[in-house]
Structure 1
Amino acid sequence: MGRVAPRVWYSLTCLMLLAVSGCGQHQAGAGEGTAGDAITTGLVADLQESGFQVNPGYARLYTQQDCKDATYPLLKNCLLNNPAAPYVVPVVKTWPNEYVDPAMVNAFGRTRPGYTTAYRLDPRDAIVLYGKMPPPGRYMGLQTWESSQRGQWKTSDYLKWERTADRPVPMQYLFDTIPPDGRRSGRVQSTSALGDTVNNVVMERQSGYSFEKNRYFIITPSATTDRAVRRTLQAQGVPGEDIFTEQIPARDNLGSIGPLGMGKDAIDFFTAFRYAVPDPGQEQAADKWRKNPPLTVLRVRAPDSLGPVQRYGSLSFEKRTANSEAHLAGDLGNLVSAVCDRVSSTAHLQTSDCTQPPSASSLIPNLVRDYGWIGPYCREINMNCLGDQQDAAYFFAPPLPLDSGQVYAVVDTLATETGNATYTALSVNDASLLAGVANVLDTTLKGSADGYANTVKNSGKFFVHYFTRDCAVLRGLPGWPKNCTEITTQMLPSHLNTSAEGDPALHGMFMASLRDYIKPGTERGPDSSELLTPRILTFTQPGK
């Protein structure tokens, strides 16, 4: 057979792969419409003409149900997924010589045969993801993590974390292998950050307002490959400022990152695009975007003719800042006392968290500063970083029981009101899965402390919210029932439900978490050391 012209060959290939890869399924257009077939056809043809290998992939939605159906059964860990939004993940076609770990097949939701969400990278590889961004909202961002690596933790590191009295996460989620509990597998779960997120603030500063606009992302360990793909995109009419590169660094401050390659011992990667809190009136459009993400995924490999691979250097994270909340500490103490008095007198519940507050009455702050919970550290000691990122300040509570009538009050500053967050989410997490199951956003939390304005200064800068199985016990409290989230057994199974997915020892237990996303005027989350530590107060009913 004679040589088929590259553009014609790609058109034929696209038609053959359409049913399995989503290739060319979107409308053409490089302007405000979807970046689809017109861009893709020319891009693939030009890349192939330059000697690139190209494999079309597709994007899929990763949901809470995928956590229960796929991730937990395979990894015994849902990685503290954020329930504020599902994730869009690129699914790539495996290379012929790529090792596919059986334990990772379908780990992030069922994929088509021959495709994977946990991929390896040759030094010349890149993942190219592009298309129309979602409708206006308060957050979107793309991030890649190291998914797993060859190694085994030291007993001393394990014991250090096991003996940490206020450790927020059960040990089984911090140190585990692939497959889980395969002590001799020689491979550990990592889910550790490789750099800062390319979020909507980053996009806006480089290319202007980016929601509902076409944007292009290159994920690669090679500056050589990146330059070649960028040139090819620009030759298709894509403005250079609309292209963003997520650099896979060669090392971090604690050592090298790797090895790369297709072999069994190489590290693998996982990428996710997260879109959260659509603007008012955009909910239907947001749901439509998520259900059928108008994104194209290509996996490419540069030819040797491009010359030596230029690896990116050392990983660095952008410095975080925050408005100090220290001047509000007295007001927070007064609010905690007022909540304790009101719950005791109105709901007739009991607590010891006010008169003699134990350490467990506070959410765990400063995971990065106090615990070193960040990608490089986790990789060095072979700990699972649970998808760490720099776009939010995190606070966690350890697993707490629900099924004996307990009521929990979370009291803190509302970072959107102190100028420290673009949005705030107070989450319910199922401890038996380490999975997010519900969120309370700042729009609900705002004003929840106003009922205490007569005795507490600056009440508008705080929130009070309750979690329990039955909110009726709080009838008569300020803001009831809006200020209470009922954690149903459909949301989080009872400890008596022996058939529920998850760790039986943690059934009926929830973990509260507070996330403050993106300090206004910066590209990252606030510095948590400048924020007040949230209090979580446990109330019980007499006789229970």
Structure 2
Amino acid sequence: MIRLSLIRSRALLALTATALMVASSATAAEAASIQPSDASQAKFLAAEGPHSASGTGWQTARFLRQLGRYGYVSQSGAEAVFDLNERYCSGAVFSGMWPNPQSPYIVTRLPEVPGQAPNTNPPVSWRLRQDEAVVLIGTTPPPEEYYSFDLTMVRGSLQTGPVLWTSIGDPINLKTVRTTGPTPFGRSFALVITGNRRTQAKVDKMLAASGLGAATNNMTIPPAMFRLGLDAGADQFLLGMRTSAPLPGFEQALERYRATPPLQVFRVRPGGSGNQTQPVYLPDPLPVPNLRVSGTGATELNLNPTLQLLRQRIIDAHPGYNATDGVVERGFEESYPGLQDKLVIDPPTTGVGALSNDADDPITPNFALPEGSFLVAYGTNHSATGQAAYSSVTVYADEKAAVALAAENNLNLYGSARDFIGDQKNADKFYAWTFSRAGDGGPTGAHVTMLPSTNSDFCAQYGGNRPVDLSTLRLVARAYMQPATLSRPALSSLLLDRVLVFTPK
């Protein structure tokens, strides 16, 4: 039986192949026969060039000339992966805060304006003058299940915690991004972040003159909700890019993209004759943008009988163990309610936790998993049911450190429930994945991930020595971007993912 996820993947690959045919002079037959393989990856890279900012060099050069003509000044920033596991182990952050190991942030780093109040989280967070803009010019990632640019606000110190970390509006994702080509993959684009209407209009005009008019994406920091400025009382912002689950054949391309992000970033502002911290334009606040509405009314709840059968079959398959039920629950509040209620993230307290408006991230309570035990995460594969473009389950360790141990996404989870309910016609709408500390005496096979022992030194792999309690675990089940709404699925429409913890009798 052809996997539903591969059907969707090949549909996307076919779309990408059409674009590559023009760029690489491939024949129609070659484009139609492109398959997920090293060959498809090679064609992608040949058509788009190596993943570097040189692909948009001429557009960037034009934009910088336009800045001079309009009397704007600029400062260059940089893009780099921000691995929260590594940052925790090095002492740079107070907690890993349940990062997604399959989608490490690519974070925008900006220099400070001379004379501004210092940032509390340099260089990953930054303040913004009310008439400034952040401009990102570059190339979008290779084909994958999901990517997005998420603008967030951070109040507090990431090193000492706790922090109020909230999303600002909807992210720009692979279904909403404007690019120079017919696909969202491997194409030039520009992103503008500001809270000032006049600045946005002028910067958009400059980008249009640079050849990026149809590929310009605007993100708003609404002054009605956030305090722009360069003084110590102003809010600080962070732009993170998520890249998740490359389509088959594009794994290496995504690794290259993350290693050297083909993105250039600038903070730009109208130049003045005096102090650069003082605005040149009068306040012209942009309004709070409307949010995409989540949920369609469609539901997974009719699949509950099969879910209960799956639970019983999993228990029956392990007669030598005691089984304890666990279920995920709403853990992270939506950003704007969390902002108003000042819900900080301070593990084990989840707060808002930079929850994307594209995502539902239910989480279990903390639980113990001693040596000789294992857990089985199971539930509906939200991608296979049409409720999400990308979904995953991730195991975390230590109630305060909240670092990621292991994760599996919808592409890998697909078909795993057949191990237990292969006789059910809707088996492929479910998954069942084992995370084990039981060694060779416990479950084995293609759908088992071995976890490090409780005696392991987690931070040694990063050259650090901070302690991590590997015996205390937690699980997050992610569901990103419902295809019909391009926003988070409604939590009420999902069958909540579940956990069974097995300990020896």
Which TM-score bucket, shorter chain as reference? Answer: 0.7 to 0.9
Distance between the aligned counterparts of 1:140 and 1:471, measured in 2? 35
Equivalences for residues 115-194 of structure 1 within 5 A: 116-148=123-155, 180=160, 189-194=163-168
Equivalences for residues 73-152 of structure 1 within 5 A: 73-101=91-119, 103-105=120-122, 116-148=123-155
Given candidates 349, 365, 379, the residue that maps to 1:398 is: 365
Matched position secondary structure for 2:308: helix
Query: Is 2:328 aligned against 1:363?
Result: yes
**What's 1:244 paired with?**
217
Distance between the aligned counterparts of 2:442 and 2:315, measured in 1? 12
Q: CA RMSD in A?
A: 3.0
Matched position secondary structure for 2:248: coil
CA contact (8 A) 1:64 1:437 kept: no
CA contact (8 A) 1:192 1:376 kept: no
CA contact (8 A) 1:318 1:524 kept: yes
Given candidates 287, 309, 314, the residue that maps to 2:288 is: 314
Point out the more displaced range, 328-337 or 425-434.
425-434
**What's 1:329 paired with?**
304
Equivalences for residues 44-83 of structure 1 within 5 A: 44-64=64-84, 66-70=86-90, 73-83=91-101
Query: Is 2:445 aligned against 1:484?
Result: no
Given candidates 353, 361, 381, the residue that maps to 1:386 is: 353
Query: Is 2:505 aligned against 1:533?
Result: no
CA contact (8 A) 1:33 1:214 kept: no
After superposition, what is the alpha-carbon deviation per residue over 1:350-406, rounded to whole angstroms, capped at 9, x for unaligned? 1253xxxxxxx11114x46xxx44234234325232111122222211222233422
Paired letter, 1:508: S
Distance between the aligned counterparts of 2:324 and 2:257, measured in 1? 48
Shift of 1:179: 5.8
> Identity, % of aligned pairs?
22
Matched position secondary structure for 2:100: coil
**What's 1:257 paired with?**
226
1:139/1:454 Cα in 2 relative to 1: closer, same or farther (>3 Å)? closer
Paired letter, 1:349: Y
1:120/1:306 Cα in 2 relative to 1: closer, same or farther (>3 Å)? closer
Equivalences for residues 499-518 of structure 1 within 5 A: 501=465, 506-518=469-481
**What's 2:402 paired with?**
434
Paired letter, 2:94: K
After superposition, what is the alpha-carbon deviation per residue over 1:98-142, rounded to whole angstroms, capped at 9, x for unaligned? 2224x523xxxxxxxxxx221001101111111111211111111
CA contact (8 A) 1:408 1:536 kept: yes
Given candidates 521, 524, 528, the residue that maps to 2:484 is: 521
CA contact (8 A) 1:57 1:92 kept: yes
Given candidates 329, 351, 371, the residue that maps to 2:323 is: 351
CA contact (8 A) 1:57 1:298 kept: yes
CA contact (8 A) 1:407 1:539 kept: yes
**What's 1:421 paired with?**
388
Paired letter, 1:63: D
TM-score by length of 2: 0.80
Distance between the aligned counterparts of 1:454 and 1:60, measured in 2? 43
CA contact (8 A) 2:85 2:96 kept: no
CA contact (8 A) 2:131 2:280 kept: no
**What's 1:267 paired with?**
235
Paired letter, 2:135: V
Shift of 1:65: 5.2
Distance between the aligned counterparts of 1:373 and 1:394, measured in 2? 10
1:315/1:493 Cα in 2 relative to 1: closer, same or farther (>3 Å)? farther
Shift of 1:45: 2.6
**What's 2:374 paired with?**
407
**What's 2:190 paired with?**
216
Shift of 1:445: 1.4
1:131/1:336 Cα in 2 relative to 1: closer, same or farther (>3 Å)? same
CA contact (8 A) 1:445 1:463 kept: yes
Shift of 1:273: 1.2
Shift of 1:483: 1.8
Matched position secondary structure for 1:412: strand
CA contact (8 A) 1:84 1:425 kept: no
Shift of 1:40: 2.5
Shift of 1:193: 0.9
CA contact (8 A) 2:179 2:188 kept: no
Distance between the aligned counterparts of 1:491 and 1:67, measured in 2? 21
Matched position secondary structure for 1:286: helix
CA contact (8 A) 1:35 1:130 kept: no
Paired letter, 2:107: V
**What's 1:357 paired with?**
none
Distance between the aligned counterparts of 1:417 and 1:83, measured in 2? 22
CA contact (8 A) 1:62 1:86 kept: yes
Paired letter, 1:518: M
Gap runs ≥5 in structure 1: 1-27, 106-115, 150-176, 182-187, 354-360
Distance between the aligned counterparts of 1:221 and 1:283, measured in 2? 37
Gap runs ≥5 in structure 2: 1-47, 273-278, 346-351
Paired letter, 2:125: A
After superposition, what is the alpha-carbon deviation per residue over 1:437-463, rounded to whole angstroms, capped at 9, x for unaligned? 422122221111213336656222111
Paired letter, 1:79: M
Across the two proteins, how many residue pairs are aligned to each other?
440
**What's 1:110 paired with?**
none
Matched position secondary structure for 1:521: coil
CA contact (8 A) 1:325 1:532 kept: yes
Matched position secondary structure for 2:504: coil
Matched position secondary structure for 1:396: coil
Shift of 1:492: 6.7
Distance between the aligned counterparts of 2:70 and 2:116, measured in 1? 23
